[in-house]
């Protein structure tokens, strides 16, 4: 489970103090101990009971101009600061009795979704009793990462992020399924930020079956590959084929293979692309392509009827 950071600091910090400490303190999210060392700073910000309300009031006065420009998340998140290597945010966690959850459903808050992270982050309980999580651990290098792959998820415990509790979630190791807080709660996060994160895989798991259920990472490259294969002519297809053969990310490689398959004129040609992929030496590519072959064969009667 996430590493618990013990800190008893009573210091009450402003947001700017934490930002300055991160920007001048040689922050390195790839170094676990370095990241953990900023637990005191996050706890000091969490000791400030006024800063978040003041920031929200200021945002509303300017009609959420900064949030509209910076926030790529939903209304559950308020972006507090963004820098090159990190950003700071607040997350809101409604209870099952809150109208917000009843109207939007648990999916809007990522409740009941076992998942890991392709980035590390520090988190602090700021307000309320805290959201619950079922915590697991796994070995990232123990499986290829294809959908349906078995994963040795080791259940650790169910606990909640109580006010003042500081934890470090470790990329590609800690897994949790978040559960509704007993009352509306707020957490503060220091998030790793880096261009390469979109090439690192994040997974949703089936915790009961202990398998990979879905890939959660998305990048701008993947939809562009599909467009390039369909609309880019010969040069476009050559480029997509290059991605399919050589891109260092297995997931993006397979997205390129899928784009090539989708651009084929006939069902048989589409199937042939996936069949070639199923013989690839890369186990991720081979398993994902074999899965697509099976899906095409299963849907063949419907596809053929819809064409005719």
Confidence at residue 71, expressed as pLDDT on a 0 to 100 scale = 58
Angle at 111 between CA 44 and CA 18, to 5 degrees: 15
Confidence at residue 72, expressed as pLDDT on a 0 to 100 scale = 60
* DSSP symbols for 13-27: --HHHHHHHHHHTT-
Position 14 pLDDT exceeds 70: yes
Position 302 pLDDT exceeds 80: no
Round to whole Å and give the CA distance between 121 and 104: 26
Confidence at residue 186, expressed as pLDDT on a 0 to 100 scale = 98
Confidence at residue 75, expressed as pLDDT on a 0 to 100 scale = 72
Measuring CA to CA, how many Å separate 141 from each of 120, 144, 195, 197, 249?
17, 7, 22, 17, 15
Q: What is the mean pLDDT of residues 55-70?
A: 73
| Paired residues of 122 in beta bridges | 168, 190
Q: What is the mean pLDDT of residues 168-182?
A: 97
Predicted confidence band of residue 279 (pLDDT cuts 50, 70, 90): very high
Confidence at residue 94, expressed as pLDDT on a 0 to 100 scale = 96
Position 247 pLDDT exceeds 60: yes
Q: What CATH number does the domain located at 3-215 have?
A: 2.60.120.10
Over the stretch 94-147, which tens digit does the pLDDT of each residue have?
999 999 899 989 998 999 999 999 999 999 999 999 999 999 999 999 999 999
CA atoms within 13 A on the CB side of 247: 21
Round to whole Å and give the CA distance between 284 and 255: 12
Q: What is the mean pLDDT of residues 9-32?
A: 96
Confidence at residue 73, expressed as pLDDT on a 0 to 100 scale = 65
Confidence at residue 118, expressed as pLDDT on a 0 to 100 scale = 95
Confidence at residue 58, expressed as pLDDT on a 0 to 100 scale = 83
Over the stretch 193-218, which tens digit does the pLDDT of each residue have?
988 898 999 999 999 999 999 999 98
Over the stretch 251-264, which tens digit does the pLDDT of each residue have?
999 999 999 999 99
Confidence at residue 69, expressed as pLDDT on a 0 to 100 scale = 65
Nearest alpha-carbon partner for 224 in 212, 240, 241: 240
- Contact in structure between 115 and 203 (CB atoms under 8 Å): yes
Instruction: Indicate the pTM of the whole model.
Output: 0.90
Predicted confidence band of residue 272 (pLDDT cuts 50, 70, 90): very high
Predicted confidence band of residue 298 (pLDDT cuts 50, 70, 90): confident
Q: Phi and psi dihedrals of 239, rounded to 5?
A: -65, -45
Confidence at residue 248, expressed as pLDDT on a 0 to 100 scale = 93
Report for 54-63, 95-104, 155-164: range of highest mean pLDDT: 155-164
Place of tokens 């470090």: 168
- Boundaries of every domain in the chain: 3-215, 221-307
Position 49 pLDDT exceeds 70: yes
- Contact in structure between 229 and 237 (CB atoms under 8 Å): yes
Round the average pLDDT of the chain to a whole number and report it: 93
Confidence at residue 303, expressed as pLDDT on a 0 to 100 scale = 67
């Amino acid at each position: 489970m996430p590493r618990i950071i013990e800190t008893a600091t009573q210091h009450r910090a402003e947001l700017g103090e934490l930002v300055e400490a991160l920007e001048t303190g040689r922050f390195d999210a790839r170094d676990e101990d370095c990241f953990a060392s900023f637990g005191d700073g996050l706890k000091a910000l969490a000791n400030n009971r006024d800063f978040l309300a003041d920031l929200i009031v200021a945002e509303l006065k300017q009609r959420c101009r900064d949030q509209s420009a910076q926030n790529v998340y939903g209304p559950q998140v308020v972006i507090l600061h963004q820098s090159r290597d990190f950003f700071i945010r607040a997350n809101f966690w409604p209870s099952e009795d809150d109208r917000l959850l009843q109207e939007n459903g648990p999916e809007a808050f990522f409740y009941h979704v076992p998942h890991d992270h392709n980035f590390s982050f520090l988190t602090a309980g700021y307000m309320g009793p805290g959201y619950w999580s079922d915590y697991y651990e796994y070995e990232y290098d123990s499986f290829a990462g294809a959908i349906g792959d078995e994963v040795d998820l080791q259940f650790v415990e169910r606990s909640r992020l109580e006010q003042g509790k500081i934890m470090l979630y470790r990329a590609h190791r800690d897994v949790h399924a978040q559960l509704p807080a007993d009352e509306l709660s707020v957490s503060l996060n220091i998030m790793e930020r880096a261009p390469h994160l979109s090439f690192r895989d994040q997974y949703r798991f089936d915790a009961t079956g202990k398998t990979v259920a879905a890939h959660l990472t998305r990048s701008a490259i993947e939809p562009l590959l599909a467009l390039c294969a369909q609309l880019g002519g010969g040069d476009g297809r050559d480029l997509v084929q290059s991605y399919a053969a050589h891109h260092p990310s297995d997931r993006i490689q397979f997205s390129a293979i899928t784009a090539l398959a989708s651009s084929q004129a006939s069902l048989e040609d589409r199937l042939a692309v996936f069949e070639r992929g199923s013989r690839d030496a890369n186990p991720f590519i081979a398993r994902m392509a074999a899965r697509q072959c099976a899906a095409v064969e299963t849907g063949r009667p419907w596809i053929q009827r819809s064409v005719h």
